[in-house]
């Protein structure tokens, strides 16, 4: 019973204890073992007539029996909350079924919460934590086509239109127990500072000293596919491979028209000089300030992971390098390509690793 209570109401569980239902179990035991016959309060004039027995009253014999049971259970260490003995297979099947039912209930609560004008973001994050297993089974399945994946997932989980929830999902997937996002940002900052020197040495970038911060961030992002190249060419109408994840809008361009022409279904950052928009395929998702343009590639990677999207071939080497060097998420040896191994070897030789 105590286990079920903390599963249904996770806010009652013990955060610091190894057994999450220990406090609830103790309170239930105490309540059961200290049950007393309720006595109706008498006023200045006692109640006349024969006392009426209430449903909650216990006879003296019942009280004695309960006291004996309580003494026996406390002396023997037995628990009155033990569930019936079941074989391991039945217990496992029942546990899986209960878990699916609980996660379905969490999803329903999450949907109702997201319909509010201003949902409590901490509560949303907690429900996303609780419903993680079922959600990843749905998102990672192969039942959705790549071009429809983002729309279907965002319809089911509109909370991922908030950038911090997409970053939270990246944390849950890679390292749910640490302050992972702050560590990623530090590693990305260090990676970029080295890439600037790497780009200048490869003559793929100009020295950033003559640029402002925004120009330097854009120049670095545009140079990344050249520094970590892939044999596959980008689609003809796209031009530079960096257009797979970054598009700087011209004053005469209409953002919606640009998105509709995109042939790739991956996350892209669109920048108009004042504000940044993240879109997936031709679906606008969220916005962020240009002051955070330096973190744009982290946001792009967060949506690749949250929506379980495939890397475009024209920037697969670059994104794989970011995955292993910045996110520190290993790639299986069978999935590594010769271009990735070559680019990584040259990078490690440059930084002396």
Question: Which pLDDT belongs to residue 103?
Answer: 83
Report whether pLDDT(141) > 60: yes
Phi-psi region for residue 77, left (φ > 0), alpha (ψ -120 to 50) or beta? left
- Residue partners of 137: CB distance under 8 A and separation at least 6: none
Q: List, for residues 309-352, the tens digit of each pLDDT value.
A: 999 999 999 999 999 999 999 998 888 899 999 999 999 999 98
Q: How far apart are alpha carbons 321 and 81 in whole angstroms?
A: 53
Mean of the pLDDT values across residues 106-115?
90
Question: Which pLDDT belongs to residue 98?
Answer: 54
Task: Output the average pLDDT for the chain.
Answer: 82
Residue 213: alpha-carbon gap to chain centroid: 30
Per the structure block, which two tokens stand in for 353?
A: 């690793």
Mean of the pLDDT values across residues 79-91?
41
Q: How far apart are alpha carbons 111 and 124 in whole angstroms?
A: 9
- Residue partners of 185: CB distance under 8 A and separation at least 6: 295, 298
Question: Which pLDDT belongs to residue 65?
Answer: 45
Q: How far is CA 111 from CA 73, 82, 277, in A?
A: 44, 35, 25
Question: Which pLDDT belongs to residue 53?
Answer: 43
Q: List, for residues 146-199, the tens digit of each pLDDT value.
A: 889 999 999 999 999 999 999 999 999 998 877 889 999 999 999 999 999 999
| Residue located via tokens 């006879």 | 59
Of residues 89 and 241, the one with the higher pLDDT is: 241
DSSP assignments along 105-136, one per residue: HHHHHHHHHHTSSS--HHHHHHHHHHTHHHHH
Q: How far apart are alpha carbons 276 and 261 in whole angstroms?
A: 19
End-to-end Cα distance, the chain: 55
CB 320 within 8 A of CB 330: no
- Residue partners of 144: CB distance under 8 A and separation at least 6: 152, 153
| Residue located via tokens 């596919």 | 225
Q: List, for residues 187-237, the tens digit of each pLDDT value.
A: 999 999 999 999 999 999 998 888 899 999 999 999 999 999 999 998 888
Report whether pLDDT(76) > 70: no
Q: List, for residues 19-62, the tens digit of each pLDDT value.
A: 777 787 888 777 777 655 555 554 444 443 444 444 344 444 44
Beta-sheet strand order (sheet of 267-271): 246-248, 267-271, 275-280, 283-289
Q: How far is CA 55 from CA 30, 37, 41, 165, 245, in A?
A: 22, 10, 17, 51, 70
Question: Which pLDDT belongs to residue 126?
Answer: 92
Helix H or strand E encompassing 287: strand 283-289
DSSP assignments along 10-45, one per residue: GGGS-SSSSSTTHHHHHHHHHHHHT-----PPP-SS
Predicted confidence band at 104 (pLDDT cuts at 50, 70, 90)? confident
Question: Which pLDDT belongs to residue 12?
Answer: 72
Of residues 263 and 83, the one with the higher pLDDT is: 263
Report whether pLDDT(118) > 70: yes
Report whether pLDDT(238) > 90: no
Q: How far apart are alpha carbons 279 and 296 in whole angstroms?
A: 12
- Residue partners of 28: CB distance under 8 A and separation at least 6: 1, 2, 81
Q: List, for residues 256-291, the tens digit of each pLDDT value.
A: 999 999 999 999 999 999 999 999 999 999 999 999
Per the structure block, which two tokens stand in for 244?
A: 């797979």
Please return the burial class of 31, using the count of CB atoms within 10 Å of its CB with bins 0-12, 13-18 and 19+.
Answer: exposed
């Amino acid at each position: 019973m105590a286990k079920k209570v903390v599963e249904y109401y996770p806010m009652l569980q013990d955060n610091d204890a190894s057994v999450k239902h220990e406090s609830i179990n103790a309170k239930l035991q105490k309540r059961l073992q200290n049950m007393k016959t309720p006595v109706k309060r008498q006023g200045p004039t006692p109640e006349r007539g024969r006392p009426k027995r209430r449903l909650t009253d216990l006879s003296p014999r019942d009280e004695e029996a309960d006291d004996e049971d309580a003494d026996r259970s406390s002396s023997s260490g037995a628990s009155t909350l033990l569930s019936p003995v079941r074989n391991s297979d039945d217990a496992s099947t029942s546990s899986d079924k209960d878990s699916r039912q609980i996660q379905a209930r969490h999803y329903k609560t999450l949907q109702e919460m997201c319909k509010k004008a201003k949902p409590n973001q901490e509560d949303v994050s907690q429900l996303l934590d609780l419903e993680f297993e079922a959600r990843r089974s749905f998102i990672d399945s192969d039942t959705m086509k790549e071009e429809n994946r983002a729309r279907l997932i965002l319809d089911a989980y509109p909370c991922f239109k908030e950038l911090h929830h997409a970053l939270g999902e990246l944390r849950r997937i890679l390292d749910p127990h640490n302050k992972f996002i702050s560590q990623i940002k530090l590693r990305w900052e260090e990676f970029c500072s080295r890439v600037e020197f790497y780009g200048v040495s490869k003559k793929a970038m100009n020295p950033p000293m003559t640029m402002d911060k925004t120009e330097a961030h854009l120049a670095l992002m545009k140079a990344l596919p050249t520094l970590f190249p892939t044999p596959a060419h980008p689609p003809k109408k796209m031009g530079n491979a960096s257009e797979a994840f970054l598009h700087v809008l011209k004053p005469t361009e209409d953002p919606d028209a640009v998105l509709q022409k995109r042939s790739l279904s991956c996350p892209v950052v669109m920048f108009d000089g004042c504000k940044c928009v993240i879109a997936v395929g031709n679906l606008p998702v969220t916005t962020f300030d240009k002051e955070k343009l330096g973190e744009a590639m982290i946001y792009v990677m967060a949506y690749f992971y949250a929506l379980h999207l495939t890397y475009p071939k024209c920037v697969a080497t670059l994104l794989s390098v970011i995955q292993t060097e910045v996110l520190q998420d290993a790639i299986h040896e069978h999935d590594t390509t010769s271009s990735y191994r070559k680019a990584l070897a040259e990078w490690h030789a440059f930084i002396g690793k």
